[in-house]
Amino acid sequence: MYCKDRSNIIASITNFIANNGGNIVYIDQHVDREQDIFFMRLESEFEDDSFSIEDFKILFKNTLVDQFKIKWRIYASGIKPKMALFVSKYDHCLYDILGRYNSGELFLEIPFILSNHLDLKPIVDSFKIPFYHIPVTKDTKKEAEQKQLELLTSHNIDFIVLARYMQIVSETLIDKYPNKIINIHHSFLPAFVGAKPYHSAYKRGVKIIGATSHYVTEELDAGPIIEQDVTRVSHTHSIDDLISKGRDLEKIVLANAIKLHTNRKVMVYNNKTLIFS
Amino acid sequence: MYCKDRSNIIASITNFIANNGGNIVYIDQHVDREQDIFFMRLESEFEDDSFSIEDFKILFKNTLVDQFKIKWRIYASGIKPKMALFVSKYDHCLYDILGRYNSGELFLEIPFILSNHLDLKPIVDSFKIPFYHIPVTKDTKKEAEQKQLELLTSHNIDFIVLARYMQIVSETLIDKYPNKIINIHHSFLPAFVGAKPYHSAYKRGVKIIGATSHYVTEELDAGPIIEQDVTRVSHTHSIDDLISKGRDLEKIVLANAIKLHTNRKVMVYNNKTLIFS
Amino acid sequence: MYCKDRSNIIASITNFIANNGGNIVYIDQHVDREQDIFFMRLESEFEDDSFSIEDFKILFKNTLVDQFKIKWRIYASGIKPKMALFVSKYDHCLYDILGRYNSGELFLEIPFILSNHLDLKPIVDSFKIPFYHIPVTKDTKKEAEQKQLELLTSHNIDFIVLARYMQIVSETLIDKYPNKIINIHHSFLPAFVGAKPYHSAYKRGVKIIGATSHYVTEELDAGPIIEQDVTRVSHTHSIDDLISKGRDLEKIVLANAIKLHTNRKVMVYNNKTLIFS
Amino acid sequence: MYCKDRSNIIASITNFIANNGGNIVYIDQHVDREQDIFFMRLESEFEDDSFSIEDFKILFKNTLVDQFKIKWRIYASGIKPKMALFVSKYDHCLYDILGRYNSGELFLEIPFILSNHLDLKPIVDSFKIPFYHIPVTKDTKKEAEQKQLELLTSHNIDFIVLARYMQIVSETLIDKYPNKIINIHHSFLPAFVGAKPYHSAYKRGVKIIGATSHYVTEELDAGPIIEQDVTRVSHTHSIDDLISKGRDLEKIVLANAIKLHTNRKVMVYNNKTLIFS
């Protein structure tokens, strides 16, 4: 939740929870001094099972939300979010995510994997997950998009991960899943926006390359950054070496972004993220 | 502050502060699930200047401290802690700290610098800080220690920094300044405890070396770790190269530890530190 | 190759290759000034296909090897080494290696995967690689070892990778594959040798954890280090968090060690590695 | 040295040195496969002192240089290069360099320090190094430049370091010192070129900030990158925090770049650097 910074917000909220029988098990707050905005992330346990999350929402709304003009979200713990995975031809992020998924490392469900190509179908099949092939060409773009939306809706998808999906997703999709489409870009943004960042990094002669996971917004590679990581390179590395070293960055960075998202640790404000501990 | 974890602690404390006219500007908490201990760090502003920190202490003690059996500390912001700097012959940490000190980067005062050698006196003089030379030999150890204690007491020293001070400090000193003596050890602890860690690192053929800043306890190099950092090395680096690369680590790690300490971000429990953000 | 450092070694060797119709495409050298040992790694192309690697070996041995008392190895490029993969119950390194293997990222063959448990058989099966189950108990240790050796020999295995294989390999195996058994240890060696290093790291309160890949020698976790990497942790991380963060380190470090080994970039001397670029 | 890649270059050169009584103590080479260029860095000792570096130059030129069309440089070891230090108002890099200089860590001489402001004069004085104040305004730019050139020439300056010097250096200066003016830019180039990069980094919400040391060319912040380093930041860091954390990066990165330059480890080709080990 966040709102304009004012006195007594923390006490008011913690009080509200205590008075309703909740025990706070996690609290973290941040104040953006430039914008004068107060942010808070809070986890609370309620012993009385009869007190539902819906009751809480109504009560909270009628009291503090209106009083402090709070923007907020609430999640019941224990419910796995549903993730749709979009891929194209690169398999390293796919293997990585599916390996983690099978190991139980990720708190989520993958109802299906979608690709504009057939190349990765055998891998998806070996993991026994439904695979949908929706090719995208200039002519079929609208139609493909429609099919995607139907799939997403019919499976009650909560968020989408673009694991090196090589198509630009449409405005319609972005509007329908605001801050819920996670992309992995293979550079240390904002350096090397757009296509072929490893080639650009090689040409510029940088000594460190990176990868960036961000929420997709309408401006290309300009959405809120969730996670970044870097690794050293030198003149001895060819473009192929950069691509190979970058793959490991992409896997780790994307996996971390997914975990932060599903653990509800990410808050977006002003095209930036707050990542709570 | 910390105490046994119980329901309603957060609400009780935030309430207490709000009821006494305080506005919480920072709150962070942590629960050690293994030990079932609740930790909290909180900053609060009080508008009414007539409400002194002493009044607050009494009030807090009589209410919540007794109720929850809280271990706690309170600091008035705006008062620079007094740091005594102990050095021997290595000058890199000394230069680094004095440069930062002169730039106003460090929120502290340095009433004096103490050394068991005269080598670094010219540097200290050029920074116009009092320099005390207290040599330490096997025979004069007791006497030297006495002189150190007098200096520390007469200057109202709050904490001590050993910037590559090459003598083992006495139990008496450690007891008088518990978790208030910061040392920099030139290895990635607990690897390479004791003397000549760069030589040991070279011999073992590690690919990464490190530096560790910790509070001094009676067991050598085993106190609570405040900060660590590492850097890559390879077979092309000689012992001298490791020492040279390590110097940069030591400077940064020690400076960061000093900042964390003076910003009251460090809490010690069970021979470990909690570092608040 | 390495030998006692002497004048003219480089010129003698480069000359020898040029005179035999070779073109040097890579040369790197290192001198250990403490031990006075000269090391060199060299790649050369020979146009004339009739000049075999066997002829070269004889010629080289009769001239320079005898003259300079050189210890050396030679490899024909283009031949994939055969790797045996030993696993137990942890699947993250297994998934990572098999993903890379299928993607063509690794220059090697995996004739079989061996485990002392059956847990990971389904994963191996889904990648269509032969799986051998050789349980190891105190009573069957000798016998199990014998079966392992037979498998390794019958498949002409070049090197072994222990991907979190939870048994100590025998002296016999180590002697038969000197500097050819690669282990991944889940700590920043030499810190936290032995069992449960993440638990020890948690207890000690380190701010950085690591993983180390090394060649197996008779002394536990004390063999030549090939590769290490680290990541930051804090008091907010539980032991389970350390284990989870560590898994990513283990995967990357082990994969890098395998690549360095199969690219013939690693030379071992004096229980340390030289890693050529 | 570098030249078009051809057979037998390495053997020819190592031979040439051996035949002239030289013993190669270091050799490293790199081939740019895209451009088909061969690069080599070589250190050699000559026992016979009567064989001068001038003789060697002539001999080398008349034989191999002409034959292979080699671009090359040669340096006699043991002669400290002369560095001019340009500063403005920030003191952190100045303190860092002068501390290292006094400790004997840097293999160079500092005949003078130049600034367009008087603020840092007291620091320079305390280190007993000549300080020249050459203010730069729009009107006096030409004149100031002339004075700078006279100072540089009269002191036989070999290379210039801009330690957060806040003026754009002129084309004349750049032409006179090609790949000999080292700048420190306070961002991870090519991200955040130009003024106030920490503000831009804050606004973009990056999770990692960096610093870059590069040779100055006519295009702003676009010269060959010598060294880069990065550090993690989060939403809890204000712009001032970024600036403070960045200072440590700037110091280390600039010092490393200076060391690489004075140790003759840097070769420039195609607006990129090769950094030899």
Q: How confident is the model at residue B82 (pLDDT cuts 50, 70, 90)?
A: very high
The closest CB to that of D31, out of C11, C25, C31, belongs to C25
Known active-site residue D221: yes
Q: Chain D contact for A223, CB < 8 A?
A: no
The minimum CA-CA distance between C129 and chain A, rounded to whole Å, is 13
A171-180, C44-53, D14-23, range with greatest mean pLDDT: A171-180
Pick from B8-22, B178-192, D93-107, D217-231: least confident: B8-22
Alpha-carbon torsion angle C249, C251, C255, C261, nearest 10: 70
Indicate which residue of C55, C221, C229, C240 is catalytic.
C221
Exposure string over B62-89, b if 16+ CB within 10 A, otherwise e: eebbeebebeeeeeeeeeebbbbbbbbe
Question: Is A189 in Cβ contact with D208 (below 8 Å)?
Answer: no
Mutate: best of C4, C5, C8, C10, partner D, most D CBs <10 A? C10
Percent helix, strand and coil across chain C, each to the nearest 5: 35, 25, 40
Question: Is D103 in Cβ contact with B91 (below 8 Å)?
Answer: yes
Q: What is the pLDDT of residue C83?
A: 98
Mutate: best of D97, D119, D252, D253, partner B, most B CBs <10 A? D252
Q: How confident is the model at residue A54 (pLDDT cuts 50, 70, 90)?
A: confident
In angstroms, what CA-CA distances link C97 with C103, C243, C258? 10, 19, 9
Asked if residues B53 and B39 have their Cβ atoms less than 8 Å apart, the reply is no
Q: What is the pLDDT of residue C47?
A: 78
Compute the distance between CA of residue C4 and CA of residue D126 in angstroms, rounded to an integer: 49
Q: What is the pLDDT of residue D224?
A: 98
Q: For A81, which DSSP code?
A: P
Helix (H) or strand (E) segment spanning residue A132: strand A131-133
Average pLDDT, chain D: 94
Question: Is B102 in Cβ contact with D123 (below 8 Å)?
Answer: yes
Q: Chain A contact for D12, CB < 8 A?
A: no
Mutate: best of A30, A188, A238, partner D, most D CBs <10 A? A188
Residue of C nearest to B235 (CA): C274
Q: What is the pLDDT of residue B46?
A: 86
Q: How confident is the model at residue A51 (pLDDT cuts 50, 70, 90)?
A: confident
Compute the distance between CA of residue D145 and CA of residue D126 in angstroms, rounded to an integer: 27
Share of residues in chain D with pLDDT > 90 (%): 83
Q: What is the pLDDT of residue B40?
A: 94
The closest CB to that of C274, out of B206, B224, B235, belongs to B235
The closest CB to that of A23, out of B8, B15, B29, belongs to B8
Token pair 């007291």 in the structure block, residue: D122
Q: Chain D contact for B236, CB < 8 A?
A: yes
Interface size A-D, in CB pairs within 8 Å, comes to 74
Ordered mean pLDDT values, 10 residues apiece, chain C (277 residues): 87 90 90 92 83 86 91 92 98 97 96 98 96 95 95 98 95 96 97 95 97 97 97 96 97 98 96 96
Interface size B-D, in CB pairs within 8 Å, comes to 48
Average pLDDT, chain A: 94
Reading the block at residue A132, the tokens are 């949908």
Q: Chain C contact for A107, CB < 8 A?
A: no
Indicate which residue of B91, B96, B158, B221 is catalytic.
B221
Domains defined along chain C, listed by start: 2-68 (3.30.70.260), 82-275 (3.40.50.170)
Average pLDDT, chain B: 94
Asked if residues B207 and C228 have their Cβ atoms less than 8 Å apart, the reply is yes
Q: What is the pLDDT of residue A50?
A: 65
Residue of C nearest to D40 (CA): C27
Using the predicted structure, report yes or no on whether residue B50 has a pLDDT greater than 80: no
Q: What is the pLDDT of residue C49?
A: 67
Using the predicted structure, report yes or no on whether residue A227 has a pLDDT greater than 70: yes
B37-46 β-sheet, strand order: A2-4, A37-46, A22-32, B22-32, B37-46, B2-4
Pick from A87-96, C62-71, D185-194: least confident: C62-71
Reading the block at residue C224, the tokens are 């030549």
Q: What is the pLDDT of residue D6?
A: 86
Within 10 angstroms of residue A201's Cβ, the number of other Cβ atoms is 25
Query: Is the N-terminal amide bond of B111 cis, ω within 30° of 0?
Result: no
Contacts of A128 (CB under 8 A, 6+ apart): none
- Touching A: D residues 43-62, CB under 8 Å: none
**Average of per-residue pLDDT across D223-234:** 97
Question: Is A252 in Cβ contact with C277 (below 8 Å)?
Answer: no
Mutate: best of D10, D38, D42, D68, partner C, most C CBs <10 A? D10
Q: Chain B contact for A25, CB < 8 A?
A: yes
Q: Chain B contact for A274, CB < 8 A?
A: no
Question: Is A31 in Cβ contact with B27 (below 8 Å)?
Answer: no
Using the predicted structure, report yes or no on whether residue A21 has a pLDDT greater than 90: no
Q: What is the pLDDT of residue A190?
A: 97
Q: What is the pLDDT of residue C235?
A: 96
The minimum CA-CA distance between C138 and chain B, rounded to whole Å, is 32
Q: Chain A contact for C92, CB < 8 A?
A: yes
Q: What is the pLDDT of residues B171-197, one digit of tens each?
A: 999 999 999 999 999 999 999 999 999
Q: What is the pLDDT of residue C55?
A: 87
Query: Is this complex scored with an ipTM above 0.85?
Result: yes
Asked if residues B236 and B210 have their Cβ atoms less than 8 Å apart, the reply is no
Asked if residues B39 and B267 have their Cβ atoms less than 8 Å apart, the reply is yes
Compute the distance between CA of residue D222 and CA of residue A171 in angstroms, rounded to an integer: 35
Query: Is the N-terminal amide bond of D111 cis, ω within 30° of 0?
Result: no
Q: What is the pLDDT of residues B4-40, one digit of tens each?
A: 988 888 989 999 998 888 888 899 999 998 889 999 9
Residue of A nearest to B37 (CA): A25
Asked if residues C96 and C87 have their Cβ atoms less than 8 Å apart, the reply is no
Compute the distance between CA of residue C24 and CA of residue C13 in angstroms, rounded to an integer: 10
Q: Chain B contact for D238, CB < 8 A?
A: no
In angstroms, what CA-CA distances link A60 with A30, A64, B27? 21, 6, 21
- Touching B: C residues 199-218, CB under 8 Å: 204-208, 210
Question: Is A192 in Cβ contact with D207 (below 8 Å)?
Answer: no
The closest CB to that of C31, out of D11, D18, D25, belongs to D25
The minimum CA-CA distance between B26 and chain A, rounded to whole Å, is 7
- Contact list, D276 vs chain C (CB under 8 Å): none
- Contact list, C95 vs chain A (CB under 8 Å): 95-96, 98-100, 102-103
The closest CB to that of C95, out of A99, A248, A277, belongs to A99
Using the predicted structure, report yes or no on whether residue A53 has a pLDDT greater than 90: no
**Average of per-residue pLDDT across D42-57:** 82
Q: What is the pLDDT of residues A23-32, one digit of tens each?
A: 898 999 999 9
Q: Indicate which residues of A carry an active-site annotation.
A: 221
State the SS3 of D89-117: CCCHHHHHHHHHHHHCCCCCEEEEEEECC
